[in-house]
Every structure is written in C-alpha cells, then in structure tokens.
Amino acid sequence: MDRILVAEPIAEEGLARLRAAARVDVRTDLDKAGLIAILPEYDALIVRSATKVTADVLAAGTRLRVVGRAGTGVDNIDLDAATRQGIMVVNAPASNSVAVAELTIGLILSLARHIPQAHSTVVAGKWERNRFMGFEVRNKTLGLVGLGRIGAEVARRARGLEMHVVAYDPVVSTERALQLGVTLAPLEEVLAQADIVSLHVPLIDSTRNLINAMRLAQMKRGAYLINAARGGVVDETALLEAINGGHLAGAALDTYSTEPPVGNPLVGHPRVITLPHLGASTVEAQALTGVDVAEGVLVALSGGSPHYAVNAPYIPPEHRGLVAPYVDLGRRLGMLCAGLVHDPVHNFEIEYRGELATVDTTPVRLAVLQGLLAGTREERVTPVNAPILARELGLKLTEFSTEDAGNFSGLLVLRAQTSDGAREFAGTILRGEPHVVEADGFWVTFVPAGPMLFTYHRDRPGMIGKVGTLLGEADVNIASMDVGRLAPREQAMMVLRLDDPVPPHVIARLREEPDIQHATTLII
C-alpha cells in the first residue's frame, strides 16, 4: 500500500478517506529536521499552512509523488522544486467558498442592523433602541469586486435577500453573470453604484491596496465596505480616514494587513466590525477541506488527474523546441490582455498562425488561460487548473488556426470580444524571446517582461517628454520605449519597459494629464 504522511491536523472525514486506500501516519510533532528524516519512507505528504515544504524537504522525499495542501494557497510549498522533481501538488481551493460567503452575508446584515454594537450595549446593561436605527438590505445594491467561487456564492445569497448585485471581474463572461443575476460593470461604476461593497479578490501585486484613497473616494457617500478576502487589498489608513471623514458609513473586516491587528486603529472603532479571520472557520468547511485534499492525493497516487492540481502540464519532447517559447508568450499575452482590458468580455479568441498551426497547441491555450486568470484569482493559477477555473467562471474561448502568418514564421493572436468590439493582442518569437507586435490594436514591438507602463493618449508633441520627465523625477529608469498610433495627432499608445515599478503618485500624475486618457502599470 502507498504510505501517506499527514504532518498537520486535517478533519477526521479526510483521514477516513485516506485510511480506506493507504497506510496513513499522522505526525504533527515534526520540525523540519524530523520531517526530512522520515520523508523518504512516504509516497505522499499532506500539510496545511505551517509546514514549509521547501526544496530541501522535497529533495528528501525520494519516493514522494504528491504533496497535498489542505487549504487554498500553496505559498508554503516550493512549486518549482516540486515540478522539477515530478511531484504533483494538489490543494482544496473550493472547500471554504460557502463558509466565506455566509460570513459575508452575516457581515452585510450586521452592518445594516448594527448587531455587534447593539449586543455590546445590552451586555453592558444599557437599553438604547433609538441609537441603533438600521436599514433593510432589500432593494439595496451590493457591489462585488471579484466574481469567482466565493463572489458567486455571495451573489446567489444576496439575490435571495432581494438585493441588486453589480460586480467587477474582467474575466467573467456576461453569460455567467446573467446566470447569477449579476450586472457586470467597470470597477469605478461598481464602487459608485453600491450601497455595500464586498471584496473577493486575491492579494497579488495588482490588487495590493486596490481599495486605496482614490477608490474609496469613488464609493457612494454613506456606503459600507466589507473585506473578508485579504487584508492587503485595502489601504487601511485611507479606510480609517474615509470613515472618520464621514464619506463611508462604516466597514466590516475579517482580514488585515497585519494579523493579528495589534494596535490597528480600526479595531474598536464604533463604526467598524472586526473579526479574527473567521472566513473558513466552520465545521463543514474544515471537513470539506480534508475530504478534498484526501481525494486529490489519492487520485494522484493512482496515476489520475486530480481536480485541483496546481503543477504545470507536461510538454512532449518532440514539441518542446517549437511549443515552449509560445507557451511563455501565451501566458504573457494573457496577462497583458487581462491588465489592459477592463470592460466585460463576451468571448476570447485565440488564433494560431504559421508554424503554430502545425502542432498540438493545447499547452499554449492553457498558458493563455493562465495569463488571463492569474491576476484575478485567490489561488495560484497554473496551466493545470486554469481550464477548471475558466469553466467555473463561464469564460468562453474559441480557437482558430491558419498557416498564413504574414511576415512571421509563427504568430499567436488573442482577441477579447467586448460590447465595443474586438480588443486584439498578438505576439511572436524573435531571437528566441517572446515579443508582442500588436497591443490593443496598436502596432508596437516589445518584450513583455518586468515592470511596464502603458499610456493611451492623444498624439501630441511633447507627450514622450512629459512621461519621461515624471518617471525621471521619481528615479524610475526606462529600459525601452515603443509608440504606436492610429494616425498622426490621433489616438496613440506608449509602451515603456522599466527597471523599477512605477510609484502610485506617478500614475496619479499621469492620469491628471489632459491628453492622457488612461495610464496603467503592469508587472509581467
């Protein structure tokens, strides 16, 4: 029988599944040295978040075929090392969706009726009915930032409370939103319309401090903010100022930029509800986590394909030389499209031209999906789990092939079909490197890598100098620049590869320029 080491506690339901098919040892007393010492005896390892499955730990697992993470993230597992060693990694990203969604609904009602504050006054011997006048959530607008698994569960429950639901999620299809009874809109419109805004996005570079002073100012006066996602998504200093200044009526927080939030002025604020990160803390969620990770590990041990595998797929050796560079390009092209297209997308199209039309492009398609989804999801997105996530989001993808690639040996084209028409991105391989040759309809040529700045602007004399001066004043060095335009003195795009990330105040300054319609910074 296969041997499985469970190094951190999981629910008994999960252990029962494992014990029915394998020999299981539960050892929650191991330090790193102890884990390394005994790991050579096991075919599978199951951890939660405390055990660090580093490269040297994985190297000790000479029999190891799979590592299971009982939870959503896999930050404590060296995925690159696992992949290099042929060790599959599985997790349980869907197990806490209902638990977090129900907590969110509880926070909505608690904000509406001041339940925690009213409870504390009764406990203190007071009877202050007039102090806690609330409001009904029926016919109010709930704004969701993120419409993945958890956001969708919140939407279903909010619709049951007769709330209007609007959401921002650039990769969710309009058909999927329609099924949920949700209206998709750009982020600024969601913030402006909503009486209550609830966040359901991961904490990654593009979402860190997503809800900053500017975004808070875009919210309706008297609105409420709920964060049961990740603490760093909200600029907590700006949130405190928005509440104290009277722009927001209050907030409910289950996560914080630092946990526990010792000394955080939001804790104890009379208009803020604070919880100790209880999102997944239900008996049912913990049981489901244990079962999901157990089933994933057992499927992997049997040679199957687990539902929630997070490693990259295998590319056959005979295709590796041709396909591998386009896999890298596809991921970067997807990230570029997701970073620049913020309108709701009805359908994505991939076109394989030239040499790409002669091979199996499945790895390229998976890489494009990975790039499209990577900046929007809670869990780490890889080519293995990207199709599952895309299916859950209702993301539609159509593929075409043609042997004609014009002046290129091969060309990869990605289109996002929106209500305003197609937004097109294209790339090829030049000197072994991925190059973008078309970005959002503008003919430009650049390597999509590192910190980048994109401006959509009117073609006017001095625009390049203005942007360069602002970056220079912020000590941001420009590595390369390319400009494309539709016609002289008309719409143009500037693409700058940078040595350093662009500070937020520089982006704010660029957006104040009258001839710049939009400025976006991406790290690809």
Whether pLDDT at 315 is above 70:
no
pLDDT at 456: 96
Residues carrying CATH 3.40.50.720, the chain? 3-95+284-301, 97-274
- Catalytic pick among 269, 277, 509, 511: 277
For residue 132, the tally of other CB atoms under 10 A from its CB is 13
DSSP string for residues in 100-138: HHHHHHHHHHHHHHTHHHHHHHHHTT---GGGG-----T
Average pLDDT over residues 208-213: 94
Tokens 């926070």 sit on residue: 107
Q: Which contiguous run of DSSP H or E holds residue 451?
A: strand 451-458
Whether pLDDT at 100 is above 90:
yes
Q: Is 91 exposed, middle or buried (0-12, 13-18, 19+ CB in 10 A)?
A: buried
Q: Per-residue pLDDT tens for 326-346?
A: 999 999 999 999 999 999 999
Label residue 316 by pLDDT band (50, 70, 90).
low
pLDDT at 50: 85
Find, among 207, 221, 216, 200, the residue nearest to 157 by Cα.
200
For residue 469, the tally of other CB atoms under 10 A from its CB is 11
Strands 164-168, 183-184: pairing kind: parallel
User: How many whole angstroms separate alpha carbon 14 and alpha carbon 12?
Assistant: 5
pLDDT at 305: 72
Class of domain 3-95+284-301 (CATH, top level): alpha beta
User: How many whole angstroms separate alpha carbon 361 and alpha carbon 352?
Assistant: 8
Mean pLDDT of the chain: 93
Whether pLDDT at 378 is above 90:
no
Q: Per-residue pLDDT tens for 37-55?
A: 999 999 999 999 889 999 9
Q: Which residue has the higher pLDDT, 50 or 305?
A: 50
Residue 403 a catalytic site member? no
Residue 198 · residue 144 · CB < 8 Å: yes
Residue 57 · residue 35 · CB < 8 Å: yes
CA atoms within a 13 Å half-sphere pointing along the CA-CB vector of 410: 25
Residue 12 a catalytic site member? no
Find, among 93, 3, 19, the residue nearest to 382 by Cα.
93
Whether pLDDT at 380 is above 80:
no
Residue 365 · residue 334 · CB < 8 Å: no
Q: Per-residue pLDDT tens for 103-145?
A: 999 999 999 999 999 999 999 999 999 999 999 999 999 999 9
User: How many whole angstroms separate alpha carbon 512 and alpha carbon 510?
Assistant: 5
Label residue 482 by pLDDT band (50, 70, 90).
very high
User: How many whole angstroms separate alpha carbon 472 and alpha carbon 451?
Assistant: 15
Tokens 């698994």 sit on residue: 149
Label residue 317 by pLDDT band (50, 70, 90).
low
CA atoms within a 13 Å half-sphere pointing along the CA-CB vector of 48: 12
User: How many whole angstroms separate alpha carbon 199 and alpha carbon 236?
Assistant: 14
Q: Is the peptide bond before 260 cis (omega within 30 degrees of 0)?
A: yes
For residue 27, the tally of other CB atoms under 10 A from its CB is 12
Q: Report, in this order, helix, strand and coil percent for the chain, each rounded to 5.
A: 35, 25, 40
Residue 259 a catalytic site member? yes
Tokens 């009874």 sit on residue: 181
pLDDT at 313: 60
Q: Which residue blocks in 114-252 are alpha helix, DSSP H?
A: 115-123, 149-160, 174-180, 187-193, 213-218, 236-244
What's the token pair of residue 214? 């500017």
Average pLDDT over residues 469-492: 95
- Catalytic pick among 41, 128, 162, 259: 259
User: How many whole angstroms separate alpha carbon 245 and alpha carbon 394?
Assistant: 40
User: How many whole angstroms separate alpha carbon 323 and alpha carbon 452?
Assistant: 26
Amino acid letter for position 166: V
Q: Per-residue pLDDT tens for 381-397?
A: 777 778 888 988 999 99
- Catalytic pick among 215, 230, 353, 380: 230
Give the homologous superfamily in CATH for domain 97-274. NAD(P)-binding Rossmann-like Domain (3.40.50.720)
The 451-458 sheet, strands edge to edge: 478-485, 491-498, 451-458, 516-523
Q: Per-residue pLDDT tens for 268-304?
A: 999 999 999 999 889 999 999 999 999 999 988 987 7
Strands 491-498, 451-458: pairing kind: antiparallel
Average pLDDT over residues 413-427: 95
The 397-402 sheet, strands edge to edge: 397-402, 345-354, 410-418, 421-430, 433-439, 442-446
Whether pLDDT at 35 is above 90:
yes
* Range in 18-27, 130-139, 195-204, 314-323 the model is least confident about: 314-323
Whether pLDDT at 88 is above 60:
yes
Q: Which DSSP letter does residue 171 get? A: T
Average pLDDT over residues 463-485: 95
